[in-house]
Chain A
């Protein structure tokens, strides 16, 4: 059974700092890995999707990497802003269109 863990569980940084969120998964037989953002009480917003054959994907200030062999993905956020404050979730896609979500990292960017 796939298990996905995210470290740290919570993170507080000053505005402008670059930061890295970590995601680990136990079963490397994944089709892709997706990063989401969730604001309190809201739905999930897809940020980036990395195919199993890819090493990284970039969108604006966000860069996600994937190392399938070691079961790890990272989300790099450059020049953080208060509007980046949210919970970030990674999810690994296995067979049967099933996503297994990580435990989430709650990010707070302070002025």
Chain B
């Protein structure tokens, strides 16, 4: 099973709302990632978790708050977002050791901020 699942598929939220995106994998991967992708642009890395600890934060605004409660789950908590935060949010996972690994991506959550 090489599946990464993400919920919800679509999310519309106001600028004062609080919502969460969820990501799950059962491949035994210990690295998990959040990416943001705007239309017709490549994905941009936001956060990397390694062994449930945040290892990379690409200077993401604090209105995005990641959480890795266990080795299979990754959340992205959203609060006080701006319309320019509307994008496709992609989760990915991979092994952490060695160089021979692939990142497996989920289908994404399409977020619209109104």
Q: Contact residues of A with B, CB < 8 Å?
A: 31-32, 34, 36, 41-46, 49, 51-52, 89, 91, 93, 96-99, 101-104
Name the residue on B nearest A54 (C-beta).
B100
The majority secondary structure among interface residues of chain B is: strand
Whether the Cβ atoms of B105 and A46 lie closer than 8 Å is yes
Interface residues on B, range: 20 to 34
User: Per a CB cutoff under 8 Å, which of B33, B42, B94 touches A101?
Assistant: B42
Name the residue on B nearest A48 (C-beta).
B102
User: Are A101 and B56 CB-contacts (below 8 A) given A43-B106, A45-B105?
Assistant: no
* Number of interchain pairs (Cβ within 8 Å): 60
User: Are A96 and B56 CB-contacts (below 8 A) given A43-B107, A43-B108, A101-B42?
Assistant: yes
Interface string of B13-45 (1 = CB under 8 A from A): 000000000000000000101000000101111
Whether the Cβ atoms of A46 and B42 lie closer than 8 Å is no
Most interface-central of A43, A89, A102, A103 (chain B CB within 10 A)? A43
Question: Nearest chain A CB to B76's CB is how many angstroms away?
Answer: 15
User: Per a CB cutoff under 8 Å, which of B4, B31, B88, B108 touches A97?
Assistant: B31
Residues of B contacting A104 in the complex (Cβ-Cβ under 8 angstroms): 40, 42
Whether the Cβ atoms of A41 and B110 lie closer than 8 Å is yes
Query: Which 5 residue pairs across A and B have the least CB separation, nearest first?
Result: A101-B42, A44-B105, A43-B107, A31-B99, A43-B105
User: Are A34 and B107 CB-contacts (below 8 A) given A41-B88, A96-B56, A98-B45?
Assistant: no
Residues of A contacting B48 in the complex (Cβ-Cβ under 8 angstroms): 96-98
Question: Nearest chain B CB to A32's CB is how many angstroms away?
Answer: 6
Q: A42-B107, A51-B99 are in contact. List 7 more A-B contacts (CB 8 A).
A: A43-B4, A43-B108, A45-B105, A46-B103, A49-B101, A93-B99, A103-B42
